[in-house]
Structure 1
């Protein structure tokens, strides 16, 4: 597509009213919030439903694993039945599953309802991203509000969950989805017919590739989650991780040789797209590691409450969202390469603040260090996404968005698992504070390595 055609296509795209925009933004927002909001509710759920914490933890794990499995089917469903039809059905199923969660009489029903919620929530983020980016022509810019909400949502989950539990109990976590989800469904019904690519009746299911991808992804994520808790030497961690990795490698070989794979990987043949995807995964590892490890540190070493920790984490979520929303505008002025390189260097410098955190560091200082890291991460997210998806046509956007989400989830989980296990091992030898400082140094070194790789990016997002 030429620049003129892209501009014309963007100009002719119908404007979306407030309710229509809510329809596209609420689904991803609810799906991402529900990835983390239940973490703070597990003790209350265990006590009310009379279940042990290991069993109750499946309320969290079941959702995340089902979400991963659902991501693998998103591209085919969008091609076969149409992007907006699948998005609307998934949003309706997510609202229904939320209602089932809120009314669950026992732990088994709740775990099953959460798995259904994860399956239904999986298509919401990549499909909404594909619609919003497809409307932007070749520039592939995420609108400001979308960038803010997409990257703010995961961070506000624990804080929002703590407020809902204090107000009405853990069931309110799921009840809160209902009014927002129902309003979003009304907005989806009002979206114009041409807002996304239509269904393709010739699209074929790839059962073999789907089996490889879904089984491999779920196994690898399960292994990484077990490794975070039990260490990498345990069979329940190492076995699924190695088996999942082998299956994912098998899927990569299969997908590059078949005509209609479950998730198209041809964008990896574009060197700049593959590099942007790798850099976004490195960014997610650095970001998720701190979000995962710092709450453990603040509660176990500094003895702060979970609610106080959640409030300290909240500013970084807002700043990440603002940075991501502003990143594309900055890239238009400064260029992608210098902005992303500067972001990773700033991330390394701000991450150096982790080396000075100890048992006496006040939470406001920790929040300030995290906010500096968050700004650096946010600036590079949307430009990297633009570079990655730039070569793709509108019909390939669902595949590209699904691949982006799969890579982010897999890379972040494995990175957190590795660093969490390393922290546990080093803490046993040199103490929790010294071990935490070593992890901070590793994260800063990883950010500097990413800055060096970013020198290979194009100067502008459009490629």
Structure 2
């Protein structure tokens, strides 16, 4: 180990980890909460801002697009700026965006505010993951990553319920005004407690790579997000043109990175077998999870005629439990390794997805709550243990690249999941209506929607089976020997 690395290890020994972890969690929680907080308010915004549903969709599409573009660039940025600079900069962007959204007099200002919020979120997640990897040695990293998992899963889960509750009693602007003091508080806490834990190396800035990355990841996220809209098909120019441009740009980007001595995003992380397996598993888990998080609201509101708030309440127990058990699965990972969690979790996922395909008009609300709770338990047993195991195999210099790759591909998996399952559901619904000889009755409309949802759940089941097969190849990884030679002191 060279003198610089030795000095850095000694510095890390003297850092109190808990205050840093808390400051990261506060900021991340509200930025991730914000992703799902607005979805349920779209019908009210359509009336308040006097814009169409397809125009409003940009509030969600634009958010995903900015996050998808920024995360790959974060691998470069974390080597140019300190931990404090990155995190505080991200939180300031998010806070300014939140304020703009709250006071927005029209759709255009609201969209600008959302894009600023997305800029903060896109920079924050990789910084948080990279900081955890640097601060915690592999033998105690599972518990820390489990705590992060609590935030990543818990925040979006309570978003729709919290949003529904706020909208029952207040104007849509309060969705932003209530977040604002917490965002400002996070900046203050981070300013006091957050320390620099990464080394600034300032590698060469490759402008062409940044351009190709933006076109590549941005084009793919935009294309699939557009395919998920109700008024588009896979043959629409706004779907296939961005996908083609994105695909070609991404291919050129990967080739350029593999040939570069100082890649912006180092795809050599895929030389590590468990990291590659982790990436595939996380994409499948994300798409399976999206299939249910997307389809269940359609099922509850379109088939069982629940209110938006009631549908949010049905999803709340699963989201809460997922968040609460993530730290537990992290500690179990540290003790028993990934196989003890990932294989049972994947098995449970297959069973639950099969049960989802058996849902009919007689299914009770209690059954829906139970199935969603078990689904969230299965996801918690798979995602953070796999992510921790895959990242543990990487050398420390590749942490920014590994976290950027995983976070980027999860965003793309989310966009693909939305588009894929919406199109499958719509196709199944149309097939059902074509089999009718007369205009569908309200009961038949519900049956048609249920038929489409069943088709989508079947595809979700296929993904779950693939995940189970892959889980059997999971092995516990070990970090390179030169890392963490000295044990970090407890917080």
What TM-score do you get using the length of structure 2 for normalisation? 0.87
For residues 478 and 11 of structure 2, the distance between their equivalents in structure 1, rounded to whole angstroms, comes to 16
Does 2:113 correspond to 1:96? no
Contact 1:29 1:150 (8 Å CA) reproduced: yes
After superposition, residues 126-275 of structure 1 pair within 5 angstroms as 126-139=126-139, 140-143=141-144, 144-191=146-193, 193-194=195-196, 196-201=197-202, 203-229=203-229, 230-275=232-277
| Structure 1 residues 62-99: Cα deviation after superposition (integer angstroms, max 9, x where no partner) | 22212222223212111112232111111112111111
Q: Which residue of 2 aligns with 1:108?
A: 108
SS in 1 for 2:80: helix
CA distance in 2, matches of 1:67, 1:113: 14
- Over aligned residues, Cα RMSD in angstroms? 2.2
5 Å-filtered alignment, 1:401-420, equals: 401-420=403-422
Is 1:303 the counterpart of 2:305? The answer is yes
Alignment pair present for 1:454 and 2:455: no
Relative to structure 1, the CA distance from residue 329 to residue 142 in structure 2 (aligned partners, 3 Å threshold; closer, same or farther) is closer
| 1:372 aligned residue | 374
1:230-251 CA-partner distances (Å, limit 9, x unpaired): 2322222122223212222222
The match for 1:70 is 70
Query: Quick check: 1:224–1:414 contact (8 Å CA) kept in 2?
Result: yes
Match of 2:290 in 1: 288
The alignment partner of 1:115 has SS state of helix
Distance of 1:257 and 1:379 partners within structure 2: 37
Change in Cα spacing, 1:335 to 1:72, as seen in structure 2 (3 Å) is closer
What is the CA–CA distance in structure 2 between the aligned matches of 1:382 and 1:155, rounded to whole Å? 16
Q: Give distance in 2, aligned partners of 1:459 and 1:112.
A: 44
Q: Is the aligned partner of 1:440 residue 2:441?
A: no
**Is residue 341–residue 455 contact of structure 1 (8 Å, CA) maintained in 2?**
yes
CA contact (8 A) 2:126 2:407 kept: yes
CA distance in 2, matches of 1:368, 1:277: 29
Are 1:93 and 1:120, in contact at CA under 8 Å, matched by a contact in 2? yes
The answer to which of 82-91 and 435-444 deviates more is: 435-444
Distance 1:125 1:142, change over 3 A: farther
Relative distance call for 1:189 and 1:390 in structure 2 (3 A) is same
Distance in 2 (alpha carbons) for counterparts of 1:360 and 1:233? 37
Name 1:341's counterpart in structure 2: 343
TM-score, length of structure 1 as denominator length: 0.92
Unaligned stretches of 5+ residues in structure 2 = 433-447, 481-491
Deviates more, 1:382-391 or 1:241-250: 241-250
Larger Rg: 2
Gap change, CA 1:156 and 1:9, over 3 Å in 2: farther
- Deviation per CA, 1:378-419, whole angstroms, max 9, x where unpaired? 012121111221133444322222211101110222133222
The secondary structure found in structure 2 opposite 1:356 is coil
Aligned residues: 455
Contact 1:66 1:115 in 2 (8 A): yes
Change (3 A) 1:445 1:62: closer
- The 1-side partners of 2:22 and 2:168 are apart by 27
Cα displacement (A) at 1:254: 1.6
Distance 2:46 2:327 in 1: 38
Q: Which residues of structure 1 form unaligned runs of 5+? A: none
Q: Deviations over 1:421-457 (max 9, x none)?
A: 1121122213332332232232223212211112222
Which 10-residue stretch deviates more, 20-29 or 139-148?
A: 139-148
Task: Supply the distance in 1 between the matched residues of 2:192 and 2:267 (Cα, whole angstroms).
Answer: 33
Measure, in 2, the Cα distance between the counterparts of 1:80 and 1:161: 37
